[in-house]
Each structure stands twice: as structure tokens, then as C-alpha cells.
Amino acid sequence: MKNIVVGVLTLLILATMGYVASQGGAYNGGEHGKGIQDIGNKTAKVTKVVEEKSDREKEQEELKSIREKAGNIGGFKVSDEYKSKCSSCHGVDGSGMQYGKKLMGPKLFGQSEEEIYQKLDDFKSGRRENMIMKGLLIHLSQDDLKRLAKEIGEFPARAKALEDKD
Ligand code: HEC
């Protein structure tokens, strides 16, 4: 009998501790603690507004550089096909693009025609899974893939020719 009473009391005490902990009041200084918490929240809000502003500025700069990269880089010439279908993610010279932490498209520059063709074919056939690339390539023929691969494979030579011209 004594054991049962002790057992029930222990359970009650544990339940009370659990309740108090879940309310958080006693451990965080009760009402007083709430006041401090409020101030904390307000400071966090102000900091957030400031951060958002600089985030927006950063975003704008980033967008600007993306637009330049997707459009024209110092006379680097690509086909209209590459420009309209690929440069928005991979950059007009294939150097790859990033938006914030998000990779829009990896670097293609420097890969050979064969490598690029193999990769495009893998995406198109589904051997390599990527919804974006597959969706883009599904309407292109093997000849289109070969033409694009040939062009991308020529990027380093094109860049070098541009450098030599300067
Ligand atoms: C909407 C953005 C987007 C567009 C437009 C786009 N790509 Fe991609 N591409 C990606 C992403 C994302 C990956 C990475 C996929 C992965 O690794 O699974 C990728 C991967 C690739 C790869 C493999 C690169 C590597 O080294 O693994 C090649 C090659 C490629 N793209 C070529 C092209 C070509 C050619 C076009 C135009 C017909 C094109 N891409 C258009 C987003 C894009």
C-alpha cells in the first residue's frame, strides 16, 4: 500500500514539473521574463527589416549580373539557339550561373563536344534524371543535341580568340 501511495505521488510531481516546464513561465522569470522576451522580439523585427532591405539590394545586383551573363559577355558570340534555350541558366559563355545559394545551371565551359553530347543524351533518355534538362531536351532531336554540343565544345576556343583580339 505504501509503495502505491509513493508511486502515485511521484507521478503527480512529475506531471506538475512537466506542466510548469511546458508553460515556460517559472523557468523564464514569469511575467518579467515575458517583457524581456517582447523586447527581444521587437529587436529581432527591426533587425529583420534592415536585413530585408540589404537582401533586396543584393538580390537586385545579383539579378543584374545574371541578366548580363545571360545576355552578352564582352562580345562572346553564341547561336540564337543557345542564347534563347540555354544561356538563362548556364550563362552566355557556359560558365554556369548561381542565384543566391541556388545553382541555376552548372558550368559547361571547358567540356568537350563528346562529353556534352553524352550528358545531353543521358538527360534526354532519362539515364540521368533531371526534370529541367529532360523537359528542355525532349523536343530536341539528336541532331539538335549534336549541334549544341559542338557549339559548347567550342566555347574555350571562342574565348581564346576573343582574348587574342584584345
Ligand atoms: C532552367 C535552367 C536550365 C536551362 C534553360 C538549361 N539547363 Fe542545362 N542544366 C540545368 C541544371 C539545373 C543542370 C544540373 C542537372 C543535374 O546535375 O542533375 C543542368 C545540366 C546540364 C548539363 C550537364 C552538365 C554537367 O557537367 O553535368 C549540360 C551538358 C547541360 N545542362 C546543357 C544544357 C543545354 C545545351 C541547354 C540548352 C538547350 C540547357 N542546358 C538549358 C539547368 C538548365
79 lines ligand 1 (CB under 6 A): no
Higher local confidence (pLDDT), 156 or 32? 156
Which of 109, 116, 132, 152 is the pocket-test mutation for ligand 1 (most atoms within 8 Å of CB)?
132
Q: Which pLDDT tens digit goes with each residue over 70-81?
A: 666 678 889 999
88 lines ligand 1 (CB under 6 A): yes
Contact indicator for 93, 117 with CB cutoff of 8 Å:
no
Q: Which pLDDT tens digit goes with each residue over 90-141?
A: 999 999 999 888 999 999 999 999 999 999 999 999 999 999 999 999 999 9
When pLDDT is averaged across residues 26-39 and rounded to a whole number, the result is 63
Residue 74 Cα to ligand 1 middle (Å)? 23
> Residues near 120 by Cβ (< 8 Å), separated by ≥ 6?
133, 137, 145, 148, 149
- Give the pLDDT score at 141: 97
- Give the pLDDT score at 30: 62
When pLDDT is averaged across residues 79-93 and rounded to a whole number, the result is 95
Cα distance between residue 86 and residue 42, in whole Å: 45
- The yes-or-no verdict on residue 146 having pLDDT over 70 is yes
90 lines ligand 1 (CB under 6 A): yes
Residue 116 Cα to ligand 1 middle (Å)? 10
- Give the pLDDT score at 123: 97
Cα distance between residue 128 and residue 134, in whole Å: 9
Which of 136, 141, 142, 146 is the pocket-test mutation for ligand 1 (most atoms within 8 Å of CB)?
136
